[in-house]
């Protein structure tokens, strides 16, 4: 009887200080800046930018019983075929010689295996070639003409990746004195005219900045989780416009373009690839979540780390943990759109306000 009175007293005190309605809110409401998708509700797919058709295709694969790796592959392939924003797939971002080359990567979060291609020439479905690297080799990254030969050995067709539009962009750039470009400390002065160049010892303290943006250099980064908790990530891009031939960006580099670990979550980044390769923002985000950060906190940490070293950085990070909670952060633009598909709500466009300088 004394125990009954004791517990009744405890319940009275709890009801006085924490009414039932308040306790319900406390138990179910996330912080205002955190987006939650409970894993028990089903799978999840997220991608950078407003690439809706790519996301819907990835979601369709998951809904019809496909694996998360198949989902990522198919979603990114759609973006390649649609030439999303001219920055993914063939016919975009010509290099200094007018040629378009492709980078792509896919990562299995269960075993951390990666398949990637860089500076891929003459093969349109770069993501599918990356998947072959993942499934049929012990390697992580194949590049250049030898990657093309690898693709041909699997029956992929050699094709010209240039289009009338991409060739015209290259011609216009040549007519404008090859501005902007990526050369430094060369003669003649690369900030005023085209090459060929020769190296010079005098280092310039000021150079023209490359204006980064959605339509002159970007990536589809896609991350997802299925109902069994398998996590994967993928990227695809045609890289930086007017790049020096042979350049490989961040997209096929694990930890830079994307990273996935089924024990923790996944992240993908978009923006200035040469900068992101130096700081590995996707890996930073995943490791932050491993240490207890929410996906929103992890994405902010990754962006802040890059921006601290490079204040003019333009880019964004999306992140997702193994429970299905997601977040995003960005810098150098006003806001960043991304697409989220969840059960009953496929293809939702969400936006995040970017970190101010």
- Say what percent of the chain tops pLDDT 70: 83
For residue 42, pLDDT beyond 70: no
Residues whose CB falls within 8 Å of the CB of residue 131, separated by 6 or more in sequence, listed in order: 69, 73, 106, 115
Q: Is the pLDDT of residue 21 over 70?
A: no
* Rounded Cα gap, residues 143 and 342, in angstroms: 35
- pLDDT confidence band for 300 (50 / 70 / 90): very high
Is residue 198 within a helix (H) or strand (E), and if so which, with residue range?
Answer: strand 198-199
- 61: closest CA among 269, 234, 219? 234
Which helix H or strand E contains 53, and what residues bound it? helix 52-63
Most confident of 15-24, 200-209, 241-250: 241-250
Structure tokens at 89: 């797939």
Alpha helix segments (H runs only) across 114-184: 126-136, 144-153, 164-175
User: Does the pLDDT value for residue 10 go beyond 80?
Assistant: no
The DSSP string of 10-51 is: HHHHHHHHS-HHHHHHHHHPPPTT-B---GGG--EEEEETT-
Assess whether 235 carries a catalytic annotation.
no
From the candidates 100, 219, 270, 294, which is the catalytic residue? 219
Is residue 168 pLDDT above 80, yes or no? yes
- pLDDT at position 11 is 42
Average the pLDDT over each of 24-33, 104-113, 185-194, 243-252 and give the range with the smallest value. 24-33
Helix axes 126-136, 68-82, angle to 10 degrees: 150
Q: How far, in Å, CA of 208 to CA of 35, rounded?
A: 39
φ and ψ of 220, to 5 deg? -90, 120
> For residue 356, what pLDDT is reported?
80
Band (23; pLDDT cuts 50, 70, 90): very low
Three-state DSSP at 176 gives: coil
pLDDT at 201: 81
- Residues in the chain, overall count: 357
Burial classification of residue 9, based on how many CB atoms lie within 10 Å of its CB (0-12 exposed, 13-18 middle, 19 or more buried): exposed
Rounded to 5 degrees, what angle do the CA atoms 256, 249, 204 make? 110
Alpha-carbon span 55 to 77, nearest angstrom: 11
Query: Is residue 279 pLDDT above 80, yes or no?
Result: yes
| Mean pLDDT value across residues 193-200 | 95
Average pLDDT (322-328) is 96
CA distances from 3 to 7, 10, 13 (A): 6, 11, 16
SS3 label, residue 324: coil
Burial bucket for residue 279 (CB in 10 Å: 0-12, 13-18, 19+): buried
Please check whether residue 53 is in contact with residue 45, taking contact to mean a CB–CB distance below 8 angstroms.
no
* 227, pLDDT greater than 60: yes
Res 217 pLDDT > 60 = no
- CA–CA separation, 95 and 92 (whole Å): 9
Rounded CA separation 169/250 (Å): 23
CA distance linking residue 109 with residue 59, whole number of Å: 18
């Amino acid at each position: 009887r004394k125990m009954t009175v004791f517990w009744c007293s405890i319940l009275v005190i709890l009801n006085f200080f924490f009414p039932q309605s308040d306790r319900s809110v406390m138990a179910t409401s996330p912080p205002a800046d955190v987006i939650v998708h409970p894993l028990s509700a089903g799978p999840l797919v997220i991608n950078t930018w407003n690439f809706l058709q790519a996301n819907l295709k990835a979601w369709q694969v998951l809904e019809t019983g496909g694996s998360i790796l198949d989902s990522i592959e198919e979603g990114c392939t759609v973006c390649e075929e649609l030439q999303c924003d001219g920055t993914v797939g063939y016919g975009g971002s010509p290099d200094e010689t007018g040629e378009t080359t492709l980078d792509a990567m896919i990562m299995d979060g269960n075993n951390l295996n990666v398949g990637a291609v860089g500076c891929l020439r003459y093969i349109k479905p770069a993501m599918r070639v990356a998947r072959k690297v993942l499934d049929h080799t012990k390697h992580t990254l194949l590049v250049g003409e030898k990657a093309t030969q690898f693709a041909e050995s699997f029956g992929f067709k050699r094709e010209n990746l240039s289009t009338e539009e991409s060739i015209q962009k290259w011609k216009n750039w040549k007519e404008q004195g090859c501005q902007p470009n990526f050369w430094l400390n060369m003669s003649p002065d690369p900030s005023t005219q085209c090459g060929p160049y020769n190296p010079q010892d005098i280092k310039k303290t000021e150079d023209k900045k490359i204006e980064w943006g959605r339509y002159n250099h970007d990536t589809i980064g896609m991350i997802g989780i299925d109902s069994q908790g398998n996590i994967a990530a993928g990227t695809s891009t045609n890289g930086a416009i007017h790049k020096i031939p042979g350049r490989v960006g961040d997209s096929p580099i694990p930890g830079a373009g994307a990273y996935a670990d089924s024990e923790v979550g996944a992240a993908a980044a978009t923006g200035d690839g040469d900068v992101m390769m130096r700081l590995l923002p996707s890996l930073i985000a995943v490791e932050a979540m491993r240490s207890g950060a929410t996906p929103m906190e992890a994405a902010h940490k990754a962006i802040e780390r890059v921006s601290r070293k490079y204040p003019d950085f333009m880019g964004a990070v999306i992140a997702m943990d193994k429970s299905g909670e997601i977040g995003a952060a960005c810098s150098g633009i006003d806001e960043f759109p991304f697409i989220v598909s969840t059960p009953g709500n496929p293809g939702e466009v969400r936006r995040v306000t970017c970190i101010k300088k």
